[in-house]
Structure 1
């Protein structure tokens, strides 16, 4: 079983990986190690860990992993079944939206743990934005966000731009050799969030699509990033089952930001204000409250902001 799993993984690696030369090099290294007995007598989970470590030595790509499949995905082996299981999973975890709140001082707060595909999560994203649309400043907490779908990032971040004229990201697809441009959307459900500050909280857990969310807003100077440098994974990925219980995730494309001409792969997104991740919320909330006190006109909101300020740090 181990040899079959390894060969299937290497076949997918060489066929799909965005960097074919690296794939061939990694496959040669792993085959040599297998011939030397490096993977003998390893259980599936241990084998996945060792293969992932060996792939990392050659490719240094945090998206490239061999790992156990999640329990609720193990019956999904075809592409159609995997999509259906993914949609069900999104519904169960509220499309990654862990918390939406109006904080004292009329500051909006979004805790986003995942970025859903826009076709599945668009209504939930719009509903979350509707609940913060009249706040005076917004905190978007991505400290526990481990990724998701690029089109979901575009849907979310389009709310922070006035029209469809902001070029947010490009993705180069390895299989076709084509580059797809991603621009802010011309139409969104509900109101856009304009002319008010946005603070994005980051940590060393923030990954993949969560990082793109950060990078898109930072390069367009539309948000202030506060926290720790993110994990550093910029390659859109597909999941391929190796068996009912194991899978390989293979990067099949790479992001190219239109402002910087590059991405955050391997280095992470460096926040504008570096503070320990655990202190990021307090720092951002204080900045938001001070903005409210400097610009607000509602006596009730100003009173809330003054009362909240001493506890915000």
Structure 2
């Protein structure tokens, strides 16, 4: 088979194109283009001039001269700018290549659809607590009730509409659409209440985050908790901040990224593109925003423990309103028992057959078995009372005679149903 040089030539052509793109601008001229874009577009004109002047001064001092690869220069500039505004970002795209889709442009419909419009998980946790995990606040236009993203979030909220508490998980959401911020906040806010951020840009221009279409059936009384982390950013922060400042929700988790100011990507020339904030939000209650500081949680919790913490808080809130909510009480008791140091139990007292049920010991604990069903771990509560670990709305109470010997077990349900099983051995 003859030797082919087509692949090496293609690689060489790509390399030459990259070098040609890099040679089209020196680091100093590239910095000047980025500084000019900031000076022209950044929402605070005085601050824009200061940031641009500092960037040009650093370039004149030779700070960036060694960064001859434009990709390295873009990364360095982004890192230098970000402390001034968390939304600043710089990237470089080879001008000789086909123009790609801008990074901040909305994903194509198919990609958005396959991402389920940012809805990762919809679940009812034990105790009838609704859980909604959002990885993106997908965009839509008001006045279009059949917009796919709007229909998707409405379906998720409708599924959870009969729960007694709600958890919104924004820990993995880097942001999204202001329209979704307003619409989701309105799902938990009294109609017409002034709680929404107003964005302020140059020349007195303003835009409110209040929804043009209010969610049809807002749940204004349901206990609401919002989970956050350092990854929570931009529009996701706006949602958490709005609900927190209005007193409608408690934020659980970690301080968010601190990117409050929305904007857009600007072509700075020679393949460089810079994301510039064109407005800053002002909340009507705090008269402030979260830029640079992040949304500080009301209850701090580790990232991997925030869901459990919020579930416990939600159950406590339900019981404060409805002390007779047996299922909430049983679930909370089980969660608190799981938090406590392990109890030492005499497993031999309980092991045996109880009709079609069998109790056996394993690793210092007890398992409940019934035919071919998966065994269930029993979590000790107090005395001879146990919770079923994977369904805390069920319990097992062992009964004993006057001498203390176990003679039966009774399965209990939070709805009041009971079944007694005599011990056979």
Normalising by the smaller structure, the TM-score range is 0.7 to 0.9
Whether 1:66 aligns to 2:90 is yes
CA distance in 2, matches of 1:2, 1:275: 47
Question: d(CA) in 1 for partners of 2:215 and 2:38?
Answer: 38
Residue equivalent to 1:153: 181
Query: In structure 2, what is the equivalent of residue 111 of structure 1?
Result: 133
Higher helix share: 1
Task: Determine whether 1:97 maps to 2:119.
Answer: yes
Please point out which of 259, 267, 270 is paired with 2:296: 270
**Residue 183 (1) aligns with residue 207 (2):** no
C-alpha contact 1:227 1:280 (8 A) present in aligned 2: yes
C-alpha distance in 1 between matches for 2:152 and 2:271:
31
Identify if the C-alpha distance between structure 1 residues 185 and 103 changes in structure 2 by more than 3 Å, giving closer, same or farther.
farther
Shift of 1:31: 2.6
Structure 1 pair 291–239 and aligned structure 2 pair: CA distance change class (3 A): same
Q: State whether residues 105 and 292 of structure 1, in contact with CA within 8 Å, keep that contact through their aligned partners in structure 2.
A: no
Q: Which residue matches 1:126?
A: 154
Q: Is the 8 A contact 1:165 1:184 kept in 2?
A: no
Deviation at 1:217, TM superposition (A): 0.7
Report the equivalent of 1:139. 167
* Number of residue-to-residue matches in the alignment: 303
* C-alpha spacing 1:122/1:26, structure 2 compared with 1 (3 Å): same
Match of 2:75 in 1: 49
Which fold has the larger relative contact order, with Cα–Cα distance below 8 Å and residues 6 or more apart in sequence?
1
Shift of 1:256: 0.4
Larger radius of gyration: 2
Instruction: State the distance in 2 between where 1:56 and 1:300 align.
Output: 48
Shift of 1:183: 3.2
Equivalent residue runs for 1:21-40 within 5 Å: 21-40=46-65
Whose strand fraction is larger, Structure 1's or Structure 2's? 2
Match 2:248 to one of 222, 230, 244: 222
TM-score, with structure 2 as normaliser = 0.63
Normalization by structure 1: what TM-score? Answer: 0.84
Q: Specify whether residues 89 and 39 from structure 1 end up closer, same or farther in structure 2 by C-alpha distance, changes over 3 A only.
A: farther
Gaps of 5+ in 1: none
Q: 1:52 to 1:152 in 2, by over 3 A?
A: same
Q: Structure 1 pair 28/102, CA: closer, same or farther in 2 (3 Å)? A: same
Deviation at 1:118, TM superposition (A): 3.2
